[in-house]
Amino acid sequence: MTLRFPEGFLWGAATSAYQIEGGADEGGRGPSIWDTFSHTPGRVIGGDTGDVATDHYHRYRADVGLMESIGLNAYRFSVSWPRVIPDGDGAVNQRGLDFYRRLVDALGEADIEPLVTLYHWDLPQALQDRGGWMRRQTAFDFARYAEVVFGALHDRVTLWSTLNEPYVAAHLGHYAGWHAPGTTDVQAMMSAQHHLLLGHGAAVAAMRAIDPARRQGIVLNLEIPVATGDSPAVLDGTRRVEGLLDRSFTDPVLAGRYPSDVIADLAPARFPVEPGDLEVISTPLDWFGVNYYRQWFITEAGMGDLPLSEFPGCGHVSATTAGQETTDMGWPITPQGLIDVLTWLVDRYPGHPPFMITENGCAFDDPVAEDGTIDDRRRIDYLRRHLAGLHQVIEDGIDVRGYFAWSLLDNFEWASGYSKRFGLIQVDYDTQARTLRNSARWYAGVIAANGIDAPPLR
């Protein structure tokens, strides 16, 4: 049975600057917090860094050719702030802007619609030295950077996203300490979160002032946790995870408030809200991006196999993958969760803008066969099942305009370095040779048919 998607559906793949570009010291780029973090011993598995990554900075034309060969009609990438404004708030580096201009032009020639993300976690180190996202001024520095990039590219780029996954930047970067800048403090987390969101709103306003016809959005990672029992601890833990991961981002952006239970749970730490901030943060958007990978199944402390240490105040619960297939990240494969998250959004925020699935994918490392092919049937199965779920919600009337597989290429998977492979395309890091996995060929068929041959969702 072929499940067809709406006419004009965007079929893309996604990447981010630090994960693929390399060229860390080239073209006038300044250092970012991820350069500092990855060069700090013990922070990234294997001591890996993004210095070279997939060398996309030099190979972008060939990479656009690979996108064309898959038939992508959209490509989501991020701009490196320190490539464009090396010290964060000073002089603009024209060579940095030129790189993105060339990339956007190459995409245009290939008839691939660009979706530009302005911030995918690579804050200029110079701004971090002055407090980074914990400092209010960084929000306005971000808006100015957005204005600079938008000014250079808005003639060619319709789709804009301010932030990618501010949860990860704020919570994993400032509370768990697993991501740059590696801070471990609840107040730092809350300040970073609020200033990221304020920067989002301020950037949207700045870009709309230049050209209101472009389509502004944000990308959040959302996963609605599931309680595996009804004990008070499990119910409370599930509420807390949902509050920290989902509502404390969706409520300010889509409803102009922070959730009162999260505020109470985290006190005496606080979101440093000033008058007018929530109006700025909740400025209406043209589209809303959801990154979806896995679900959290909440159980009693000690009963689960996944720690919940990234969630403050959740020591009384853990997460379990019992009975679930998992990816190389240890994440359960739960396509139903994609349906749950979109349904949750629609129910909770009646005035929501159209959605796009801006990331979805899995890490699996399958060998190259003698004939040169890579049989990654687990990735195909993952993608097919999630697309079947997506098709179901679209049939149910939810307005979803596009889907971006994570990722186009294997790349620098943050604290996991190069040890986890998410690509439709395999990268040999010794030679930088690219090989299309079978999933890339399968995805090409999906795009050509604008649909999937899908068994029912399992």
Q: Could you list the active site residues? A: 165, 359
Q: Which secondary structure element, helix H or strand E, spans residue 253, and what is its range? A: helix 248-255
Neighbouring residues of 395: CB distance < 8 A, sequence distance ≥ 6: none
Among 141, 223, 242, 359, contact with ligand IFM (rule: CB under 6 A): 359
Fill in the per-residue mask, 251 to 290: x = in contact with ligand IFM (CB under 6 A), - = not in contact: ----------------------------------------
Of residues 123-142, those binding ligand IFM (CB under 6 A):
none
Q: Should residue 16 be labelled a site residue for ligand IFM when binding is judged by CB under 6 A? A: yes
Residue 69 burial (C-beta neighbours within 10 Å; 0-12, 13-18, 19+):
middle
Among 113, 404, 413, 442, contact with ligand IFM (rule: CB under 6 A): 413
Two structure tokens written together for 57: 């900075």
Give the separation between CA 190 and CA 241, rounded to whole angstroms. Answer: 15
Between the CA of residue 408 and those of 1, 15, 74, 159, 330, what are the distances in Å?
27, 6, 11, 18, 21
Q: Should residue 78 be labelled a site residue for ligand IFM when binding is judged by CB under 6 A? A: no
Q: Which secondary structure element, helix H or strand E, spans residue 236, and what is its range? A: helix 232-242
Q: How far separated are the first and last CA of the chain, in Å rounded?
A: 15
CB of 144 to ligand IFM, least distance (A): 24
CB of 178 to ligand IFM, least distance (A): 12
76 or 401: CB nearest ligand IFM = 76
CB of 147 to ligand IFM, least distance (A): 24
CB of 358 to ligand IFM, least distance (A): 9
Q: Should residue 191 be labelled a site residue for ligand IFM when binding is judged by CB under 6 A? A: no
Q: Please name every residue paired with 220 in a beta bridge, in sequence order, or none if there are none.
A: 290
Q: Should residue 406 be labelled a site residue for ligand IFM when binding is judged by CB under 6 A? A: yes
CB of 94 to ligand IFM, least distance (A): 27
Positive/negative CA dihedral, 148, 154, 157, 158: positive
Q: Should residue 291 be labelled a site residue for ligand IFM when binding is judged by CB under 6 A? A: yes
142 or 404: CB nearest ligand IFM = 404
Give the separation between CA 383 and CA 453, rounded to whole angstroms. Answer: 12
Q: Should residue 228 be labelled a site residue for ligand IFM when binding is judged by CB under 6 A? A: no
One-character DSSP codes across 350-370: TTPPPEEEEE------PPBPT
Q: Should residue 165 be labelled a site residue for ligand IFM when binding is judged by CB under 6 A? A: yes
Residues lying near ligand IFM in the complex (CB under 6 A) are found at 16, 19, 165, 291, 359, 406, 413, 422
